[in-house]
Structure 1
Amino acid sequence: MQRILIIEDDPKIAEHLQAYIQKYGFASFIVDDFDHVMEHFQKYKLDLVLLDINLPSYDGYYWCRQIRKQSICPVIFISARVGEMDQVMALENGGDDFITKPFHPEIVIAKIRSQLRRAYGEYAVQVEERVLELEGIKLYPERLKLTVKDKAVPLSKWEADLIESLIERYPRVAGREDLLEKLWDDQMYVDENTLNVNITRVRKKFEAVGMKGAVETVRGVGYR
């Protein structure tokens, strides 16, 4: 059964969507804590997200960007905003489709089915899965998974991209500036501490599969 997350701050609309989605055989979950949306996202193995724009704390554009750091699952925006720029912003921030309120439930179901077919079904692009290997390490970039022998650990999108860059450069050193430019080229400004934090996270992932000291710091240059 395919699983759908509903991120909508109007309880009546969220419950209406959930009831209709479940009627058509999908499992669905409603976010009820808008300060911890990603915790809800990570809790379930999701196939699609329905996302409002006007939300407490952070808007839907922000949460879509956070989702895209970890997943390529389809995201459909549902909003009362009807301007062309709102739809452009939704797509530019990682959304796959846009539904305006008020909506007809049949349209929602049709768009859900369409996105699921494109992502996982008959219209999905069939490509050979990439596997990067280095000295017993196997990285699955699309699965967001790292394995060493019989141990495996899940990765965030940034962690997978960072490990991929290090493997591709090995045995050469991956420079700090090169990593910042490659991994965060869509950000206007990124503090170097962002890279430090993500390197620390990557090291912890390697330690989780029994490889302590896998990422070497080359002082003044970068990492290997």
Structure 2
Amino acid sequence: MYRILVVEDDVKIADKLRSSMMKYDFSVTVVEDFSQVLDMFLETEPHLVLLDVNLPKFDGFYWCRQIRAKSLCPIIFISARDGQMDQVMALENGADDYITKPFDMEIVMAKIRSQLRRAVGAYSSGREQERSIEYAGLVLYPERFMASYRGTSTDFTQKETDLLTMLMEKGGRVVSRERLLDMMWEDQHFIDDNTLNVYITRVRKKLRELGAEAGIETVRGAGYRIAAEEEPPV
């Protein structure tokens, strides 16, 4: 039986989520003390967390970071805040998905099942065995949002990690801008053309700070690739 932790301070919504999920044989725990969210997470060891943004004490972004530092457990935000930046912040802080209120319970259930399949079900790649990617001495740990080079390490955001993962997995081959946008953001209509440039710049800066030989190279008219020795950004 899958365990779900609900972190929602609206009692009616929390009860709706709990009763609906219990019909599908999920074990559901609803947080009541919002100063002890991480403690409740560690105590219940859920397979998935449903998390609101606006909470007493600390907001959902804070608790998402705290949980992500301890676990790879899927986290889905459910919030009335429907702005683009709220959704971006949720993903940047380690969330796996974002649902806006008011929500359709069937959509919530579909997203829960999808995340569980990826994490512990049919599509799971065995998250208990950490994955790493290596290229030109740079080692990336996608699940930890961290990379190391010659004993020095630095943290990346989730989107920065996604970008670096795609480029490193290609091993020097070019990845088009369209492909990067498609893989990093499913809802591309929310993303302007400059957003990818911002992430490319951020990752380049962090690789330089690491002293890594591998750097992101712009291939005019084609896209980007990770090169063994970074050339000056175009």
Q: Normalising by structure 1, what TM-score?
A: 0.59
Residue identity in the other structure for 2:103: F
Shift of 1:92: 0.6
Q: Which residue of 2 aligns with 1:47?
A: 47
Structure 2, unaligned runs of 5 or more: 131-140, 158-234
Q: In 2, Cα distance between the equivalents of 1:107 and 1:122? A: 20
Shift of 1:45: 2.0
Query: Secondary structure of 1:107's partner?
Result: helix
Q: In 2, Cα distance between the equivalents of 1:65 and 1:127? A: 19
Q: Percent identity, aligned pairs only?
A: 58
Residue identity in the other structure for 1:73: C
Shift of 1:88: 0.8
Q: Which residue of 2 aligns with 1:125?
A: 125
Superposed CA offset, 1:78-135 (max 9, x none) = 00011111111111100000110001111111110000001111112258936xxxxx
Shift of 1:16: 0.8
Structure 1, unaligned runs of 5 or more: 131-140, 142-156, 188-224
Q: Which residue of 1 aligns with 2:80?
A: 80
Q: Does residue 9 of the first structure (1) align with residue 9 of the second (2)?
A: yes
TM-align CA RMSD: 2.9
Structure 1 10/41 Cα, relative in aligned 2: closer, same or farther at 3 Å? same
Q: Which residue of 2 aligns with 1:34?
A: 34
Alignment map for 1:64-213 (pairs within 5 Å): 64-126=64-126, 129=129, 178=152, 182=153, 185=155
Q: In 2, Cα distance between the equivalents of 1:42 and 1:19? A: 23
Q: In 2, Cα distance between the equivalents of 1:115 and 1:79? A: 18
Q: In 2, Cα distance between the equivalents of 1:126 and 1:107? A: 26
Query: Secondary structure of 1:68's partner?
Result: helix
Count of residue correspondences: 146
Q: In 2, Cα distance between the equivalents of 1:6 and 1:33? A: 12
Runs of 4+ displaced beyond 2 Å: 125-130
Q: In 1, Cα distance between the equivalents of 2:43 and 2:15? A: 20
